[in-house]
Amino acid sequence: MLVIHCPYCGARPELEFAYAGQAHLTRASDPSAQTDAELAAFLYERVNVKGIHAERWRHVRGCAKFFNALRDTTTDQFVVTYKSGLPRP
């Protein structure tokens, strides 16, 4: 089980958290102006990177806040966690 550092609460076991997918996906301000391909890319295409992955987590059984993390998908080691809204470190 992973130990995850919530930026608000500190180190907690993985069971307190919910994974919430790739981070820094920005919804278009005017979705109806998007092409089908752009909307499909936003909804479905994912980097699925083998290496450092920027992703969202939610401390759902704790403070319930969302935050972002960089994690190496080849080792599952967290590089850093940071608050939502901040740019990727």
Partner 1 sequence: MIRSRFSAWALLRAGFARQQNWGPQWRRAEPKQSYDAVIVGGGGHGLATAYYLARLHGMRNIAVLEKGWIGGGNTGRNTTVIRSNYLFQESSTLYDHSVKLWEVLSEDLNYNVMYSPRGVLALAHTVHDVQVLQRHIHANRCNGIDNEWLTPQQVKEFCPPANTGSNIRYPIMGGALQRRGGTARHDAVAWGYARAADALGVDIVENCEVTGMRRDANGAISAVETTRGVIASPRVGVVAAGHSSVVMKLADVALPIESFPLQALVSEPVKPVFPCVVMSNSIHAYISQSDKGELVIGAGTDAYTSYTQRGALHISTHTLEAVCELFPMFRRMRMLRNWGGIVDVTPDRSPIIAKTPVPGLFVNCGWGTGGFKATPGSGHVFAHTIANNAPHPINAAFTIERFREGRLIDEAAAAAVAH
Q: Does 45 bind partner 1 (CB under 8 A)?
A: yes
Part of the chain binding partner 1 (CB under 8 A), chosen from 25-33, 66-74, 79-87: 66-74
Report whether 6 contacts 80 (CB < 8 A).
no
Cα-to-chain-centroid distance, residue 21: 5
Q: What is the closest distance, in whole angstroms, from the C-beta atom of residue 51 to partner 1 in the complex?
A: 9
Q: In sequence order, what are the residues at sequence separation of 6 or more whose Cβ sits closer than 8 angstroms to the Cβ of residue 41?
A: none
Part of the chain binding partner 1 (CB under 8 A), chosen from 17-25, 26-34, 79-87: 17-25
Query: Considering beta carbons, is residue 30 or 76 the nearer one to partner 1?
Result: 76
Report whether 1 contacts 15 (CB < 8 A).
yes
- Taking CB under 8 A as the criterion, the residue among 8, 24, 31, 40 binding partner 1 is 40
Q: Does 3 bind partner 1 (CB under 8 A)?
A: no
Question: Nearest-CA neighbor of 54 among 74, 75, 68?
Answer: 68
